[in-house]
Amino acid sequence: MSSGKKDGWGSSLGVILAVTGSAVGLGNFLRFPGLAAKYDGGAFLIPYFLALLFLGLPIAWSEWAMGRYGGQRGFNSCPGIFRSIWKSPLAPYCGVLGLIVPVVIYMYYLWIESWCLGYAWKYLTGALNLGPEKQAYAAHFTSYVGLSADGAFFHQGMALPVVSLLLCVALNFFIIYRGLSGGIEKVCLWGMPLLVMCALLVLARVLTLGTPDPAHPERNVVGGLAQMWDIRGGLPGLIQSLANAEMWMAAAGQIFFSLSVGFGVVINYASYLKKKDDIALGSTTAVAGNEFCEVSLGGLITIPAAFIFLGAAGAVGGTFGLGFQTLPLVFDRMPAGQLFGFLWFFLLFIAAITSSLSMLQPAIAFFEEGLGLDRRGSVSLLGFITLMGTGIVVWFTKDLAALDAMDFWVGSFCIFVLATIQTFLYGWVLGPIRGREELERGGLLPIPRIFDFVIRYISPVFLLTVFVLWLHQSWAAKWQAMQTSPSVRIALFFVVAVTVLFLLLILRAVRTWEARERKTR
Amino acid sequence: MSLYGWTLLALSVGFTTGSLVWCLARVLKNHSRQDRLHAPADLDPRETDR
């Protein structure tokens, strides 16, 4: 139970924008369009929306309900909230995932955030006009990130990459130090509308490009939209695409990661709500906000823009390839590309910072309520831990080994485990009666009755099926990387050390909570 | 782009944009109602005298 002055949200709109800001990130604008283009365009959208209805939305509702349930019992961190729901002595230790997942993801996400800031600055100053060849942008990215060798990132000295990283560290901790309503909420209240405005400007530019290259009349706006949205091969093509299990897995994974469910963030944010605040409409609005950014903005910008200038072969790629190599080439060929390049990377930066801020708050809440630290102490301790982690990520840059390892084991594997635990806690421990009571108190939106059945049976089965398939597909390569790469082993050793540290801190926090409860009895 | 593509595009963009606009309208309506409840004009002077 927390002692001292309690932090909280200033308004219902503020918490909705903060949760939306946490969910909207690079994945909305780069990963989602990349996946849709890879899996036969429009066909991908069918499993995607089914996963939204049966996995994303139910888990989001349950996280909000559990968060406020714990918050009403004086807990804001995952270990405390889990303990208030589940009376088992194991409960708070399961909550360790709700601390290490956001903290470890922050360690590498911060670095990616600094790339967006650096690229936005380069566009603003005109330093990213590298000509019409893709290789120039690939070489620039390699040198900017230091992909060639471990430690190469620091060989640049106090150049833009290092300065923008330091600036991002300072910005994040300055904002988080100002608290929920004075820091995170204010940034999201301004940042999210600004992000949407930048995206709408870029979207308007893309949709009015026409046919910029007369030598390639097929590379036009409608062709670009078709690349992203069309169902290739008509109805038989659609049926064939839907038979691809890998596509179902990718769609469910995208929904899952995009909504930030299983991150430990939503549950923490919701714990600051008051007893009679609405959570049903708030959670649904946050999900709708994320989906709007992903489908209506990301889905209409990235792939169509890449197709119009580079054709079908250019409109594919992973998050980093598409975002930091392909799109800069697109902006080079686009009229007023420097301005739109700046807007694009600036919107990615806003999307990233509203997400990274949310990753710090769960651990801060735990330090405050579990260890009795004040805001300054919590921020300093977390700053020290995350700086060490970010240091490891930016030192072992060769092939992004440390980043990749942390992303797989924490940013994917642990998220699946945490989401499974949360689904179990809501559906089977808190139960549908108490859960619905929590969801409906102050609710401005009726939650369908079928949700009780979905969250108890369908969501866990859906989740575990995707988890097992995903693990089956990715396990071997990651396991091999761990055995052969020393940098991967160092990164994972650090993750294990942070986990052990948090487990010890939870042990101490539990003793404090028990002593306080004995005193109040 | 085929008719399937256009239909899917219209449904997806329409659904996500429409649901956000609908949800936001309800949030803002409730937000302004709450503001009115706490406006100074709504305070009963007899309550403040107590």
Alpha-carbon dihedral sign for residues A70, A75, A81, A86? negative
Residue A231, beta-bridge partner list:
A41
- Pairwise CB contact (< 8 Å): A281 & B20: no
Phi-psi label, residue B40: left if phi above 0, alpha if psi -120 to 50, beta otherwise: alpha
Domain boundaries, chain A: 12-520
pLDDT for B38 beyond 70: no
Q: How many CB atoms lie within 10 A of CB A282?
A: 27
Q: Which residues of A374-397 are buried (b: 16+ CB within 10 A; e: fewer)?
A: ebeebbebbbebbeebbebbbbbb
Query: What is the interface pTM, i.e. ipTM, of the complex?
Result: 0.89
Residues in chain B closer than 8 A to A41 (CB atoms): 5
B38 contacts in chain A (CB < 8 Å): none
Angle (nearest 5°) at CA A350 between A349 and A351 = 90
Q: What is the largest CA-CA distance in chain A?
A: 81
User: Cβ of A288 and B2 within 8 Å?
Assistant: no
Contact partners, residue B12, CB within 8 Å, separation at least 6: A45, A49, A229, A295, A296, A299
Smallest CA–CA separation between A363 and chain B, in Å? Answer: 29
> Are A287 and A453 spatial neighbours (Cβ–Cβ below 8 Å)?
no
* C-alpha to C-alpha distance for A11 and B36, rounded to whole angstroms: 14
Q: Given an 8 Å threshold on Cβ–Cβ distance, is B31 in contact with A284?
A: no
DSSP assignment of A80-145 equals HHHHHH--STTHHHHTTHHHHHHHHHHHHHHHHHHHHHHHHHHHHTTTT---S-HHHHHHHHHHHH
**Taking 50 as the threshold, does the pLDDT of residue B50 lie above it?**
no
The residues, any chain, with a CB within 8 Å of residue B48's CB and separated by 6 or more, are: none
What is the sign of the dihedral through the CA atoms of A74, A77, A79 and A85?
positive
The matching CATH number, chosen from 1.10.10, 1.10.20, 1.20.1340, 1.10.4160, for A12-520 is 1.10.4160
Question: How far is A202 from A301, CA to CA, in rounded Å?
Answer: 7
Q: Do A281 and B2 touch (CB under 8 A)?
A: no
Does residue B36 have a pLDDT over 80? no
**Identity of the amino acid at A217:** P
Q: What is chain A's pLDDT, residue by residue, as a tens digit (521 residues)?
A: 444 456 789 888 999 999 999 999 999 998 899 888 888 788 999 999 999 999 999 999 999 999 999 999 999 999 999 999 999 999 999 999 999 999 999 999 999 999 999 999 999 999 988 888 888 999 999 999 999 889 888 887 778 999 999 999 999 999 999 999 899 999 999 999 999 999 999 999 999 988 888 888 888 999 999 999 998 888 888 888 888 888 888 888 888 888 988 889 999 999 999 998 999 999 999 999 999 999 999 999 999 999 998 888 877 777 888 889 889 988 998 889 999 999 999 999 999 999 999 999 999 999 999 999 999 999 999 999 999 999 999 999 998 989 999 988 998 889 889 999 999 999 999 999 999 999 999 889 999 999 999 999 999 998 888 888 888 887 888 888 888 889 999 999 999 999 999 999 999 999 999 999 898 87
Is B2 within 8 Å of A234 when comparing Cβ atoms? yes
With H, G, I as helix, E, B as strand and everything else as coil, classify residue A41: strand
Distance from CA of A284 to the nearest CA of B (A): 7
Q: Contacts of residue A234 in chain B, CB cutoff 8 Å?
A: 2, 4
Disruptive mutation site among B1, B30, B32 for chain A (greatest number of A CBs within 10 Å): B1
Residues of B in contact with A226 (CB under 8 A): 1-2, 5
**Rounded-to-integer distance, Cα A24 and Cα A351, Å:** 6
Residue type, A436: R
Question: Which residues in chain B are contacts of A11 at CB distance < 8 A?
Answer: 31
Supply the DSSP string of A285-354, one letter for each residue: HHHHHHHIIIIIIIHHHHHHHHHHHHHHHHS---HHHIIIIIHHHHHHHSTTHHHHHHHHHHHHHHHHHH
Chain B's closest residue to A298, CA to CA, is: B13
Query: Model's pTM, two decimal places?
Result: 0.91
Rounded-to-integer distance, Cα A169 and Cα A374, Å: 20
Q: Could you identify the residue written with the tokens 């590498």?
A: A108
The DSSP output letter for A448 is P
